[in-house]
Homo-oligomer: A and B are copies of this chain.
Amino acid sequence: MDAAAEVFRQRGYAATSVDNLVEATGVHRGSLYGAFGSKHGLFMRALDAVDTTRDPASRLDLALIGLLELAPGDPHVRERIAGVLEAHDITEEQLGRRLLTRAGLPRSGGPT
């Protein structure tokens, strides 16, 4: 599960194939669908996982991915992430900063 979250976190949602998840988790295709129903279901469970993780970067990354790729058209994901943001007091600035760091651009148009 943590392995799945890690793959989503690094590759993004759409860019992550089920093969990637199978390889990363060691769980085989059929079992994966038996347990989670779909790639989407697995992502939701990954959100649950990072909600309780102690690594804030993982949490922020998965929130970013969910917000950008899924949330606009998926109320279920939207609400789930809203809960995560609220539970951990994640601010807009934290999201923006993590987005830049993850992209390899730690600096923004900040003060001189």
Contact = CB atoms under 8 A, between A and B. Distances in A.
A89 to B, nearest CB: 4
A78 B99 contact: no
A93 B93 CA distance: 4
A103 B75 CA distance: 9
Interface residues of A, number: 36
A19 interface: no
Interface string A11-47: 0101100000000000000000000000000000000
Contacts of A108: 85, 90-92, 95
A99 B96 contact: yes
Given A65-B68, A96-B99, 4 more contacts: A71-B103, A72-B104, A75-B104, A96-B97
